[in-house]
Structure 1
Amino acid sequence: MNSKRKLKALTYAEKLKAIEAVKSGLKRKDVAVQFGIHESTLSIILKNKDELLKKQESGESLLCKRRRIAEFPNLEQCLFTWFKQCRNKNISVSGPILKEKAEEFAKSLQIHNFKASNGWLENFKKRHDLAFKKVCGESASVSKEVCTEWKSQLKSLLNGYDPNDVFNADETGLFFKCLPDKTLTFKNEKCHGGKHSKERLTILLCTNSTGTQKLKPLMIGKSKKPRCFAGCRSLPLDYEANKKAWMTGELFRKWLIKTDKQMITEKRKILLFIDNCTAHNDVPPLRAIKVQFLPANTTSQLQPLDQGIIKNFKTFYRKEIVKKMITDMEQNTVSSIHVLHAMRMVDKAWRNVTSNAVKNCFKACGFPVQMQENIEVEGEEWNKCTPPEEWNKCMSHVEITFEEFVTCDDKLATAGTLTEEEIMSTVVHGAEGDDLDEDLNDEPQVPPTTISISEARKAVNTLRCFAEQCSDTEEDIFTSLFKIENKIDIESVNSLKQKKITDFFM
């Protein structure tokens, strides 16, 4: 006689692994056996996969087996956000302090029937698995010996990873509207806010050590729905927003999960080096990414992006600003830059960063990068802040060097601590309320430009003729034109499908 089957409850993390196993092509029957559950249970898990993925992105614990619902969710979210900020700053938080802070939030949120009892505290800790949270705080200072020791340990850390699978990610602040004649005004503003805060963005850049794969940048602005995005259904960069245009733990977690999914799709395992700033400390469970924190306070010496990659990127961005100024001068229009302009220029600047520049910076941090014979010569050039040819034409009346223009936002804050009022506002009024639009749209609203199919075909034909009349045009340019033509053909067919056949006989 068969014994009764023992029931098994999976944690949320195990359920996500089961979902990924099915996505990878394994049969449901085999996956059910692997996780010790019935096929019908697996079907229920797959049916609820969207809810599980949302839970993962929200930062909730994946170690529990059943969802513990809080009686006062807004209060708990405020308290948990405050708690994470304290731990990220290496501030010790005890149970009594948590209870006292919970009472304060309850009073501010006008919750009158809340009591921060010992039972509530224990349940709060279980709901958020506080005992399992890893704290990665900065220490006071780091000696040169620490950097030397780190470089000597790199070989063992990189063991088993191809150089193409070793990545570094970091944020940089960008005064995206800053024109050359305003450089000194902007350069003096290095604080979190200030009168120029609405003219700033945060850009997250990530590249592998060979420079063969520069991931799509993440742009963080202050406006959730900039007016300039009207009519755009595809953007060259990923875009997020919050009231300070900062990187936050939630945004970084979301970016990690998306990148992890990309690497799973590519069937790769990568090693990602990051600094331990406050926004990076809440790392979710990942399948394809192993996160390695750099030693505290050493990013200026050990982080490849800080060795010149970011400066190289900003050099290209500022050159695009100068080119736009010259174009506006020739067309007798006032230079104005909105978020979509900045997004296009950031995309182009990041693409212009060469693999040799990336390799040089990884090499400077002790990474064993395979170098080309002529890379050292090229390295002397890419690291220079050489002004574009148009610089003297537009800056003859201002005594500002191009390097001062490039570095005007070098120390701009990219993350920080929210006040209790800001925490409550974010929780109660939603992630990043729609009222953010006011901050970045000083320019008059311009109706979105709609390009017809025929206009697009004509533009591609013009570009093709231009490419053909140029000498030594690269093959990938014609390939890109071919891809654009195919896209136009697809859109043309889709536009016809949206019409009924009777529409042509009316």
Structure 2
Amino acid sequence: MSHRKALTLEEKVALIKDNQNGHGLSVRQLADNYKISKISAANIRRRSEEFLADYSSNSNKGIKRKLKDENRQKIDEIVFEWFAQQRAKQIPFSDPILQEKARQVAEQLGYTTETFKASNGWLEKFRSRHAISFRTINGESASVDDSAVEEWVQRLSTKLDGFNENDVFNADETGLFYRATPDRSLVLSKEECKGGKKSKERLTVFLCSYLTGTEKLKPVVIGSSQRPRCLKNITTSKLPVTWLSNRTAWMTCNLFTDWLILINSQMEKKNRKILLFIDNAPCYIINHDLSNFKIVFVPPNTTSKCQPLDQGVIHSFKCYYRQKLVKHIIAQCTLAQTADQISTTVLDPIKWIDLSWENVTENTIRNGFRTAGFIHSSSTSSSSMMNMDIIIETDIESNNSDNPLQQLELLLAHIDIGGSHLTAAEFVEMDSCIPTFNEWDDYGHLKSSIQVTQDDNEEEEEDAFVEKPPNLPEALEMMRRLHLFASIEQPQLHNLIYDLESQLTDIYLDSKAVKQSSITDYFS
């Protein structure tokens, strides 16, 4: 009697793709190719949607069988959902904690301590099913292991060997309350930001820069809707940022993988090999071979000191972003009668994120890498632990501008929203601790965990009326009115208005060039 063979989840997905991708293989051919019975092949094909969903939701690709007992399957699903929720909050785990949670869930489902024990054997199989390894959870809120930081800095030079400084990258994500005002009542704990209405007020911004700061990659912005109303008539590929989405506006394994593949393709065309440093967030799982990437993970519990973008770079980015938000509020206040009439759609932060990332100077980025130990100063060995205040001051000197934090403080003095106000520093840091990642794919367990109905998704985060954009002739008429304003109020604006008017005129002429036009056509 032949030994029964059980396919892994990865092999089942390969079988399904062999059947779907135009191969047209019969059940008999599939059974022969994978050395299983025809009944097993037919069963896998029948359950293809289930297996594909498991695979896309980051289940262990080596798993061979799922639980047959529906109640035990329910225990498995509930415990894993709870586990992933706690991981998103950076809560550390041990084996006994997970086993105790499983016993509690089993008791609620009617099991006794005799019928379900959450034994070590169950724990091992649970971890295998979901590809869980209990590594130390990293993050700014965790205590920093100074000895690990020192050892990391000592080994950095070896890790950097063979790479030009223009080919060394760091990437990190940050949460952003994109339209929050400096009101203390709007400071939310990270638990309040998971799902529901408040998650729609939040974006995750993923930033990546070279060590030299001379080139920054296009920001990735993750929202909770695939196509917000304000982007209805806009081609997202033409936005100044890369727009992605899932139901919680989090970075996920699939989104990160897609980004890696895209950047790898770009570097392959340029014939460049790059070195990327990232933290140990559970969404950073590398499932693909990357020909032009070498990825190095920052040690756990060292992010706040070893992650270059955390050394004042993201802080600087948020200073500039809050400035633009406050200026927008001030500009809207000239016509708005109430606070509710101050409108901010997702399109506004998309523009501000791009401009704010552009505003962050080369000097700020280089100092971030220096503080993290990537660049050694010739003057003192302690410079790698430079204080963030020094980074900002150096940025001021190179930019010949005022401190961005002080600029924000001056802007805040011009608005009165009632109640207790945040300081500029508190306003910048108000979303520094909100969750930015999840261990699932958006289409797996996350779909049932986050209670978002189709109606909620269509409702969208901005309830305000979406204004129709002007056409080219209307835009040119606006330029005429702006010149009139400048002539009477602000003559120094004329040059800026002329530049914009010239570009709009060129666009208008190009649009007319597709056909022969008479001079009267330009006035129609």
For the aligned pair, the TM-score class normalised by the smaller chain equals: 0.5 to 0.7
Q: 2:415 corresponds to which letter in structure 1?
A: C
Equivalent in the alignment of 1:268: 272
Equivalent in the alignment of 2:119: none
Equivalent in the alignment of 1:439: 460
Counterpart pick for 1:402 among 407, 424, 443: 424
CA contact (8 A) 1:304 1:364 kept: yes
Counterpart pick for 2:175 among 168, 173, 180: 173
C-alpha distance in 1 between matches for 2:344 and 2:187: 18
Change (3 A) 1:413 1:145: same
Q: Map of 1:458-497 to 2, 5 A cutoff?
A: 488-493=508-513, 496=515
SS state at 1:245 partner: coil
Q: Deviations over 1:71-114 (max 9, x none)?
A: 42221133234554x79xxxxx9756667689948x99xxxxxx
Q: Deviations over 1:256-299 (max 9, x none)?
A: 11111222222221111111211111342212221111111211
Q: Map of 1:311-322 to 2, 5 A cutoff?
A: 311-322=315-326
SS state at 1:326 partner: helix
CA contact (8 A) 2:247 2:442 kept: no
C-alpha distance in 2 between matches for 1:136 and 1:490: 60
Q: Deviations over 1:389-440 (max 9, x none)?
A: 322111485442111111111101011245999638489xxxx979623231
C-alpha distance in 1 between matches for 2:508 and 2:210: 33
Equivalent in the alignment of 1:8: none
Q: 1:230 corresponds to which letter in structure 2?
A: K
Counterpart pick for 2:469 among 426, 449, 453: 449
C-alpha distance in 2 between matches for 1:212 and 1:449: 34
C-alpha distance in 1 between matches for 2:393 and 2:354: 26
Counterpart pick for 1:347 among 341, 348, 354: 354
Equivalent in the alignment of 1:138: 136
Equivalent in the alignment of 1:151: 153
Asked if residue 235 in structure 1 is aligned to residue 239 in structure 2, the reply is yes
C-alpha distance in 2 between matches for 1:457 and 1:163: 45
Equivalent in the alignment of 2:414: 393
Q: CA deviation at 1:376?
A: 8.6
SS state at 1:394 partner: coil
Asked if residue 338 in structure 1 is aligned to residue 338 in structure 2, the reply is no
Q: TM-score, normalised by structure 1?
A: 0.65
CA contact (8 A) 1:209 1:369 kept: no
Q: 1:328 corresponds to which letter in structure 2?
A: Q
C-alpha distance in 1 between matches for 2:467 and 2:442: 39
SS state at 1:196 partner: helix
Counterpart pick for 1:307 among 311, 325, 329: 311
Question: What is the RMSD computed on CA atoms of the aligned residues?
Answer: 4.6
C-alpha distance in 1 between matches for 2:157 and 2:281: 24
Change (3 A) 1:392 1:375: closer
C-alpha distance in 1 between matches for 2:260 and 2:443: 28
CA contact (8 A) 1:359 1:369 kept: no
Q: CA deviation at 1:179?
A: 1.1
Asked if residue 298 in structure 1 is aligned to residue 292 in structure 2, the reply is no
C-alpha distance in 1 between matches for 2:356 and 2:241: 12
C-alpha distance in 2 between matches for 1:205 and 1:287: 22
Q: How many aligned residue pairs are there?
A: 394
Q: Map of 1:404-419 to 2, 5 A cutoff?
A: 404-418=426-440
CA contact (8 A) 1:173 1:202 kept: yes
Q: Deviations over 1:349-397 (max 9, x none)?
A: 111111111011110000127899x989524779863243322111485
Equivalent in the alignment of 1:329: 333
C-alpha distance in 1 between matches for 2:503 and 2:45: 51
C-alpha distance in 1 between matches for 2:268 and 2:132: 25
Q: 1:72 corresponds to which letter in structure 2?
A: R
Q: 2:290 corresponds to which letter in structure 1?
A: L
User: More deviation in 392-401 or 282-291?
Assistant: 392-401
Q: Map of 1:270-285 to 2, 5 A cutoff?
A: 270-285=274-289
CA contact (8 A) 2:440 2:446 kept: no
C-alpha distance in 2 between matches for 1:379 and 1:403: 17
Q: Map of 1:172-251 to 2, 5 A cutoff?
A: 172-180=174-182, 182=183, 184-191=184-191, 192-193=193-194, 195-233=197-235, 234-251=238-255
Asked if residue 256 in structure 1 is aligned to residue 231 in structure 2, the reply is no
Q: 1:285 corresponds to which letter in structure 2?
A: D
C-alpha distance in 2 between matches for 1:306 and 1:412: 15
User: More deviation in 135-144 or 206-215?
Assistant: 135-144
CA contact (8 A) 2:264 2:292 kept: yes
SS state at 1:449 partner: coil
Q: TM-score, normalised by structure 2?
A: 0.63
Q: Gaps spanning 5+ residues in structure 1: where?
A: 1-50, 53-63, 88-92, 109-129
Change (3 A) 1:145 1:82: same
Equivalent in the alignment of 2:94: none
Change (3 A) 1:283 1:442: same
Q: 1:246 corresponds to which letter in structure 2?
A: W
Equivalent in the alignment of 2:91: none
Q: Deviations over 1:143-170 (max 9, x none)?
A: 2111111111111111121111111111
Equivalent in the alignment of 1:356: 363
Q: Deviations over 1:313-368 (max 9, x none)?
A: 11111111110111111233521211001111111111111111101111000012
Q: Deviations over 1:420-477 (max 9, x none)?
A: 99638489xxxx979623231322x32531422x4455678999998xx759x99xx9
Asked if residue 76 in structure 1 is aligned to residue 55 in structure 2, the reply is no
Change (3 A) 1:434 1:418: farther
Equivalent in the alignment of 2:112: none
CA contact (8 A) 1:201 1:245 kept: yes
CA contact (8 A) 1:211 1:354 kept: yes
Equivalent in the alignment of 1:378: 394
Q: 2:430 corresponds to which letter in structure 1?
A: C
C-alpha distance in 2 between matches for 1:80 and 1:204: 25
